[in-house]
Amino acid sequence: MSHHPARPAEDAARETTAPHALITGAARGIGAAIARRLAADGCRVTLLGRSGEALAALQAALPGAGHGRVVADVADEAAVQAAFDAARAAAGPIRILVNNAGQARSAAFAKTRLQDWQDMLAVNLTGVFLCSRAAIADMLAARQGRIVNIASTAGQKGYAYVAAYTAAKHGVVGLTRSMALEYARSGVTVNAVCPGYTDTDILREGVANAAARTGRDPAAILDEFLAVNPQRRAVRPDEVADAVSWLCGAGAQSVTGQCISVSGGEVT
């Protein structure tokens, strides 16, 4: 966690009342957009990721005060527990958890290696389980909390050539629904946001990989990806962040177990 110099009294007061939100995979893309939005909403934000340099740069740019960062691999049980303990010690009990860390790899099903399968499950699904388990006690003690899992339209439908990723994201949707029922009377809500193709490094890397594999024009591949979106455009990361912000607000107390598709009508 980072340390900050002394602040004016109003900043100190804000830090004692602002909800503590921890965001995984926060260094870039959707995670960074969510961090900026929740900080603007008045949360104290802890950024969790694997790149300390990128986390530090984002932390310095966040609005407000009291924000921190911690480096950890969400698929490593001991690392997750240590990271959450450090975040809790620095910023207080966790009231909001956004499970955004994720990774995508593409391959024909018959050529999908066991290691790729296991890696997709570890980052995209086991990480959600470990981080949610590490945060839930704080929320239950306060009888209030928000868990938002960033899944994907791949958790709502199938896509060719990403069987492992799709299976993992379907798992995230199932975990979301199960946890929502288990904690329905506790004051804790658990929801998933399912973006379609979003303008992030993951999409750009996917296009580049497909172009390298097939020799096709990257622009044509991107158009093909986006053709599944009736609006024919990539989702913006801030649009995903807006959905997360609403789910974390007081007006969404009765919304739990839902999978909100932010996909231009791809999933209805």
Q: Residue 129 belongs to a domain with what CATH number?
A: 3.40.50.720
pLDDT on residue 104: 92
**205 or 93: whose pLDDT is higher?**
93
pLDDT at 210 exceeding the cut of 90: no
pLDDT on residue 9: 41
Mean residue pLDDT of the chain comes to 93
In the sheet with 96-99, reading across from the earlier edge strand, the strands are 68-71, 44-49, 20-24, 96-99, 145-150, 188-195, 259-262
Side-chain half-sphere CA neighbours of 252 within 13 A: 22
- Residue 72 — pLDDT band, cuts 50, 70, 90? very high
pLDDT on residue 116: 97
Spatial contact of 198 and 235, defined as CB atoms under 8 Å apart: yes
The percentage of residues in the chain with a pLDDT greater than 90, rounded to a whole number, is 90
- β-partners of residue 49 are 71
216 within domain boundaries: no
145 within domain boundaries: yes
Contacts 24+ apart (CB under 8 A), 103-112: 103/165, 103/202, 104/162, 104/165, 104/202, 104/205, 104/206, 105/162, 105/164, 105/165, 106/161, 106/162, 106/165, 106/206, 106/209, 106/210, 107/161, 108/161, 109/161, 109/163, 112/163, 112/164
**149 or 105: whose pLDDT is higher?**
149
117: left (phi over 0), alpha (psi -120 to 50) or beta: alpha
**Mean per-residue pLDDT for 130-147?**
98
Spatial contact of 210 and 216, defined as CB atoms under 8 Å apart: yes
35 within domain boundaries: yes
Spatial contact of 167 and 121, defined as CB atoms under 8 Å apart: yes
Structure token pair of residue 262: 């932010």
pLDDT on residue 16: 53
- Domain holding 171, by residue range, is 9-197+236-262
- β-partners of residue 97 are 22, 147
Which pTM was predicted?
Answer: 0.92
124 within domain boundaries: yes
168 within domain boundaries: yes
**Mean per-residue pLDDT for 96-121?**
96
211 within domain boundaries: no
The percentage of residues in the chain with a pLDDT greater than 70, rounded to a whole number, is 94
Our count of domains for the chain comes to 1
160 within domain boundaries: yes
Structure token pair of residue 112: 């999908």
- Residue 13 — pLDDT band, cuts 50, 70, 90? very low
212 within domain boundaries: no
**Mean per-residue pLDDT for 184-206?**
95
pLDDT on residue 2: 42
Q: Catalytic residue numbers?
A: 165
